[in-house]
């Protein structure tokens, strides 16, 4: 069979999928029992499945379709690039126009003196690059013992062996013997879930100071870098208390370690500025990028490095690292076109001045729902914590994630894609979302919350742990 057409009945597509397709982060047996939704097309913020049902995609795919679906300009650029130069590598002292253009444009956009890009095919690959890059950096400076990277529990940095080790996801570490050596974790700045009686600002400081304690414990002469997402995405949209990032920055400045900001989700307008580092006043030495770089139209990622990091690597002999698709010409050309659209259509201005303020206003009304403990949002990434008792910030007595999963199912049933992380519900819609579409999102979310609440009550699950 050379083509699966959309004319096959859904059940047949599902049967083929079940027989041959292994899905990421999925309980395969459960999926085989229910059958996957087959998505066939998309436009703007809307998806359509093989039954002709429309959904408002409040997750922008997987946090990546920043300019929205259906922008034909990107398809045209890809087709032109494929005709002219579908592939060439950037090894062996060669380069090509799309890689040159994209690297130069990223140097303009990135903050400070982040002027040099090492390309990868994804966020995971870029973070694997970062592990090798920071260790090679310190070796080139005559300090090969500086190789430990400090990261955070419940952080997410990707799914390869290296990136999953950087991440702090316990269920991922439990499979395959992770983390690899010389990666250690400190606690996350998640006040609602872990702050107890402490006030958020004091809690934010305390969590940041764990970094300094870890540096003291292991010895500064062993630490290469600290990596973190400006706002944890896959961890549940955890927006740190306002005291957190200034203290982290102070600690990184006071000690001789590199700061890596993982901007895979926060980058390219998600927080209302070009990068989360702009929004939270972070001065990283390296930024990880992917997702919104191409709005997901092509797989591409990268590491943007400061002058100091890049020059040290440049003078440190061969950096024995690279991917066949580093700077892939079609992906780079599509990314450049995506950046043109973000810029020329002032999409980040739309987030800052229109979509984010309106969404924040509407999103905060969800906190009045009896199932919702907090509703937080920065730019266009937001979350609500589901709880049986918002006053005590209680957890449900049911297994963590049970209620979140039920809510996600009610969202699908109400033509809305919202993701759950445990018992948090999260959104990160395309940045082009309009106020009318935000109204629709909130209306559907409220209906899903009502139905979840009714269902929990009927099943006797509205109980605190």
62 vs 405 by CB, closer to ligand PXG: 62
Stretch that binds ligand PXG, among 260-268, 335-343, 387-395, 450-458 (CB under 6 A): 260-268
Residues touching ligand PXG, count (CB under 6 A): 18
Q: Is 380 in the site for ligand PXG (CB under 6 A)?
A: no
> CB of 248 within 8 A of CB of 211?
yes
264 vs 417 by CB, closer to ligand PXG: 264
Q: Is 417 in the site for ligand PXG (CB under 6 A)?
A: no
CB of 417 to ligand PXG, least distance (A): 12
Residue from 261, 290, 331, 403 that binds ligand PXG (CB under 6 A)? 290
14 vs 129 by CB, closer to ligand PXG: 129
Contact pattern from residue 220 through residue 259 relative to ligand PXG, giving x for each residue in contact according to CB under 6 A and a dash for the rest: ---------x---xx-------------------------
What six digits make up the tokens of 93?
């002292």
**Buried-exposed string 202-226: b where 16+ CB fall within 10 A, e elsewhere:** ebbbbbbebbbebbeeeeeebbbbb
Residue from 262, 285, 337, 423 that binds ligand PXG (CB under 6 A)? 262
Q: Show contacts with ligand PXG in window 93-152 (CB under 6 A).
A: 122-124, 127
Q: Is 60 in the site for ligand PXG (CB under 6 A)?
A: no
> CB of 303 within 8 A of CB of 130?
yes
Q: Is 265 in the site for ligand PXG (CB under 6 A)?
A: yes
CB of 221 to ligand PXG, least distance (A): 28
**Buried-exposed string 418-449: b where 16+ CB fall within 10 A, e elsewhere:** bbbbbbbbbbbbbbbbeeebbebbbebbbbbb
Residue from 8, 62, 85, 169 that binds ligand PXG (CB under 6 A)? 62
Q: Point out which residues bind ligand PXG (CB under 6 A).
A: 62, 122-124, 127, 156-158, 229, 233-234, 262, 264-265, 288, 290, 301, 419
């Amino acid at each position: 069979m050379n083509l699966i057409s959309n004319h096959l009945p859904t059940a047949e597509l599902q049967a083929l999928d079940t027989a041959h397709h292994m899905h990421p982060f999925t309980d395969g047996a459960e999926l085989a029992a229910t059958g996957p939704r087959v998505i066939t097309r998309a436009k703007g913020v809307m998806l359509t499945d093989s039954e002709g049902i429309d959904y408002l995609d409040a997750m922008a795919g997987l946090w990546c379709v920043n300019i929205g679906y259906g922008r034909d300009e990107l398809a045209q650029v890809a087709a032109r690039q494929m005709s002219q130069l579908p592939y060439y590598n950037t090894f062996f002292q060669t380069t090509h126009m799309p890689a040159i253009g994209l690297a130069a444009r990223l140097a303009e956009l990135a903050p400070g003196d982040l002027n040099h890009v090492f390309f990868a095919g994804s966020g995971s690959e870029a973070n694997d690059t970062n592990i090798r890059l920071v260790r090679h950096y310190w070796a080139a400076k005559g300090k090969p013992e500086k190789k430990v990277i400090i990261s955070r529990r419940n952080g997410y940095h990707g799914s390869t062996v290296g990136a999953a080790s950087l991440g702090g996801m316990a269920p991922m570490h439990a499979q395959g013997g992770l983390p690899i050596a010389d990666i250690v974790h400190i606690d996350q700045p998640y006040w609602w879930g872990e702050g107890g009686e402490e006030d958020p600002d004091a809690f934010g400081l305390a969590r940041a100071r764990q970094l300094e304690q870890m540096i003291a414990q292991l010895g500064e002469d062993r630490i290469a870098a600290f990596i973190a997402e400006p706002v944890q995405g896959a961890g549940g949209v955890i927006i740190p208390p306002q005291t957190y990032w200034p203290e982290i920055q102070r600690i990184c400045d006071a000690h001789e370690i590199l700061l890596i900001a993982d901007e895979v989700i926060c980058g390219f307008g998600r927080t209302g500025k070009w990068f989360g580092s702009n929004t939270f006043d972070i001065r990283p030495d390296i930024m990880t990028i992917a997702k919104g770089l191409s709005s997901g139209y092509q797989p591409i990622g990268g590491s943007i490095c400061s002058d100091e990091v890049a020059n040290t690597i440049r003078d440190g002999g061969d950096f024995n690292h690279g991917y066949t698709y580093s700077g892939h010409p079609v992906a780079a050309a599509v990314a450049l076109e995506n950046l043109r659209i973000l810029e020329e259509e002032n999409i980040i201005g739309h987030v800052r001045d229109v979509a984010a303020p309106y969404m924040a206003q509407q999103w905060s009304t969800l906190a009045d729902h009896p199932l919702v403990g907090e509703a937080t949002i920065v730019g266009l990434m937001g979350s609500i914590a589901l709880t049986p008792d918002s006053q005590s910030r209680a957890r449900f007595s049911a297994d963590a994630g049970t209620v979140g999963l039920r809510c996600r199912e009610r969202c699908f049933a109400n033509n809305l894609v919202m993701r759950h992380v445990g018992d948090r519900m999260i959104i990160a819609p395309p940045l082009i979302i309009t106020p009318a579409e935000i109204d629709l999102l909130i209306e559907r979310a409220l209906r899903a919350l009502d139905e979840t609440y009714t269902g929990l009550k009927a099943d006797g699950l509205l109980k605190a742990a």
